[in-house]
Chain A
Amino acid sequence: MFKPSTKTAVTTAAAIAFVAAAALPHAAFAADVLRIGAPLALTGGLADEGKKQEAVWQLWLDKLNAAGGVKVGDKTMKVEIIKYDYQTDGKRAGQLAEKLITDDKVDFLTAPFGSGHTKIIAAVTERYQVPLLACVASSESVYDQSFKYLFGTLAPNSGMTDAMAALYKEKLPTLKKVAIYGRDDVFPKSMATSMATSAKAAGIEVVYNELYAVGTMDHSAAISAIKSTGADWIYMTGYTQDLILGRKQLNDLGVKAPIVTMVTGPAYREFTDGLGDLADGVTSSTWWHHATAYTGAAGVWPSTEAFYKDFTAAFKSDPDYVHASCAAAADVLVNAVQKAGGTDKAKVRDALEATDMLTFYGPIKFGPNHMNLGRDMPIIQVQGKDIKVLYPASIANAEMKLIK
C-alpha cells in the first residue's frame, strides 16, 4: 500500500489547482467589435463538415477584415468569430452555446452542421433571445417550433424532390419503379419521405421504402431486397460515408439501375474521391453549386464567380453548399447588423426577419417559418471526373446520362 507516492499526490493537487484557476471567468471585449459565436464539430463524427464551416468562415473573416471591417452607421466594426469544438456531442453543443453567450458575450450565434444539433442550440439561443443563423439545417422539423430567433439559409427539402421526380420522368419516360432507402436521421429521413410523396405524385411506383439506422455498417440485406424489386431508379439518402458504402455494395451485389441518386453524395468532393469510377453517373440534388452564377450580390463577395475564385485559391478544391450557405449566413448577419445600426439583439432579429437580399449564394428571404424561401435548387450528376448541373435549365451545363 505504499504505491501512492507523494509525487502522485502533488501532481494531483497541482491539477486541481490548475482547474480551479481555469474556472475563473475571462471576458475581455471591445464595443466596436461584432462578435459571432460558432460552436463547431471539429472532432468526432461530423468533423469533416465542421471543418468546412471553420475554413469558410475564416476565409470570409479575412476578406472582411482586410477590407477594414463592417460599416455600421458612421463607425466601422471589426468582426470576430469565437469558435469552440463541441466534439459532435449534443450535450456539449448546448453547453457551448451557453458559454458563448454568457462567458464570451457574443452578439450572435451560428449553428453547426446538422439539424439535430441546430435544434439543441436553438433551444438555448431562444431562451437567451440571441439571434441564431443556421446554415446547414434544412429539415422543416427544426423550424416547426416557431422559434423567434432562429433563421436558416437553406431552403426546405420538399422543393428538391418534386423537381427531381419530374426531371427523371422526362429524361427516362419508361421510368416506372423507384426504391427509396434512407438513413434514419433528421435530414436524410426527411429527404426520403419527401421523395416517396413526390414520386407517387409523378406517377412512379415506390417499390421499396425503408430506413436504415444511424451507424449501419452493412447494407447488403436491404440491397438484395431492392434488387429483387427490379427498380429502375435507386434513391438513397445519408451522409457521405453511408453513401460510399451503399454505392460499393450496389455494385458488389450486381444491382443494375439506369438511375442511381445519392443525396447528397456528389455534392461533396469526398464522395467522388472515395468512389472513383463507381461515382460516375450518380445524381443528387443540392442547395447550391458553384456553376450557379449570381452577380451584383451584396456581402463580401459580389458574385458567385468571385467566391469560387477566392475559395479555390485558398483551398485548392471546389466549394460545396456547406461552404456557400455558411459564408452567406455570415453575410446575412452582417447585413442585418447594418440595417439595425448596431448589435442590439432584438433590433437585429427584426432586421433578419425583414431580410431580402441577394448574396453570391443566391437570394435570401426568410419565409414564415424563418427558412430561406425555396428557389430552383440544382440537380447534379457525376460525369467522368466532373460534376455537371442538369437542372434548372438556366444553369444546366450537361444532359443527363443513364448508367449502363
Chain B
Amino acid sequence: MPTLSRPLRYAALAGWFALLAVTPFIADNYTVRVAITVAMYSALALSWNFIGGFAGYPSFSTAAFFGLGCYVGALSQRHGVPLVLAWLLATLFVTAFAAALGTIILRLKGHYFAIGSIAIVEVVRLVISSWGSLTGGGDGLNVPLLSGGPDRVASTVLYVMLGIMLLAFIATLLVDRSRLGFGLRCINQNEDAADMVGIDTTRYKILGYALSALFCGTVGAVYASWVGYIDPTDSFSILLTVKVPVMVLLGGAGTVFGPIVGAGLFVLLEEFFWANFLEWNRAILGGIIVFLIFFLPSGILKLDYRRLFRRKSPADRVEAA
C-alpha cells in the first residue's frame, strides 16, 4: 500500500532536515534547542528501529546505552581525552558493551526479552551510582563546558546531532537494502523458520542489537558535553527508554522513515501540550499516544494520504484490498 512515492519521501526528509539545520539562523535558541531535541530523538529512534522495528525484538535498553554513552564520554573528557575522540570512544565502548550483552540477553524472546532489557537499564544505573570513586555516584559529574557563547554552542550541538541523525538514517538505508535487513525481517516474522532456511539468527540479532546501541552511545556523549552535568537518575531515565519505542511505533516500526516522522511529531506534540496545558500535559499526551497507536497500529506512514483527497470509489476498495 504505497502512500507518498519514494522520491517524494526523500524530498520531504531533505526539507525537514534543512528546516532543522537553518533554525540557528532564523529562530531563537529555544527553538534551536527543540531542533536539537528532535535530532537527538530521531537518532535514538532510528537506532531502536534496528532491533525493535526490523527484528521485532521489543528492546527497552535505549536508556542504558544512552546513559553509558554519557558517562564514558564525560569520564574520558575529564581524563584529558579531546572532545571528538571522547565521543568516538563512547560510541565504541557502548557498541562493544551491547554486542557482549546481546550474546546473553538475546537468548530471551518476546516479553522475557523486554523485561530483561529494561532490567539492564536499572543494573547499569545502580553500578554507575554505586561506583562512586570513578563516577561520582549520586553527586553526578561535571563535564567540561563547550567553549563559545550560547549561540555557538547551540549551533555546534545541533549540527553534531543532525550529523548523527543523518548517519543513523544512512545506516538504516544500508541495512534495509542488505542481507542483514532481510534477515532481521525474517526473524521478525518467524524466527524458527528463519533459522531453518539458513539465516544465522543469533549473529543477526547481535548485529541488530549492537547497531541499536552504536548511535545511542554517541548521542549520550554529545548530550553530556552539551548539558555540562550528568547524574545517574537523569542519564538512565526509564522515561527515555519508553519514549523512544513509542516514537518509532508512532511513525511506523520497521520502516525507513517512520522513526524520523515519529520522533519529530512526538517532540513537537510534547512541546505543544506541555506549553499549553501545564497541569494536564502528561495525561493529554498519554491519551494522544494511546489514540494514535490504537487507530494507527502500524504508524502514521501507513496512512494512505491519497485517500484523503479523493472520494472512496469501489475501484479503490478493490485495489486496497
Contact = CB atoms under 8 A, between A and B. Distances in A.
Interface of A: 1-6, 8-10, 12-13, 15-16, 18-20, 22-23, 25, 42-43, 84-85, 87, 89-91, 94-95, 98-99, 101-103, 116, 119-120, 122-123, 126-128, 139, 141, 144-145, 183-186, 188-190, 211, 213-214
B288 interface: yes
Contact of A6 (B29, B31, B308): B308
For the residues of A in contact with B, the DSSP-based class is helix
Interface residues of B, number: 58
Contacts of B139: 139, 141, 186, 189-190
A6 B307 contact: yes
Interface in B107-149: 126, 129-130, 132, 137-140, 142, 145, 149
B78 interface: no
A141 B229 CA distance: 12
A94 B268 contact: no
Interface stretch (B175-183, B186-194, B292-300): B292-300
B55 to A, nearest CB: 24
A12 B296 CA distance: 10
A23 B231 contact: no
* Overall SS of chain B's interface: helix
Interface string B259-303: 000000100110110111011011000001000100111001011
Nearest to A185: B138
B140 A116 contact: yes
A127 B321 CA distance: 58
B124 to A, nearest CB: 13
A126 B233 contact: no
Contacts of A95: 30, 33, 37
A234 B274 CA distance: 43
Contacts of A128: 150
B246 to A, nearest CB: 15
Given A9-B303, A22-B275, A213-B126, A184 B27 contact: no
A390 B145 CA distance: 44
A400 to B, nearest CB: 31
B200 interface: no
Contact of B31 (A2, A18, A25, A211): A25
Which of B27, B29, B34 neighbours the largest number of chain A CB atoms within 10 Å of its CB? B29
B195 interface: no
B33 A99 contact: yes
B145 A103 contact: no
B31 A19 contact: no
B149 to A, nearest CB: 7
A5 B140 CA distance: 49
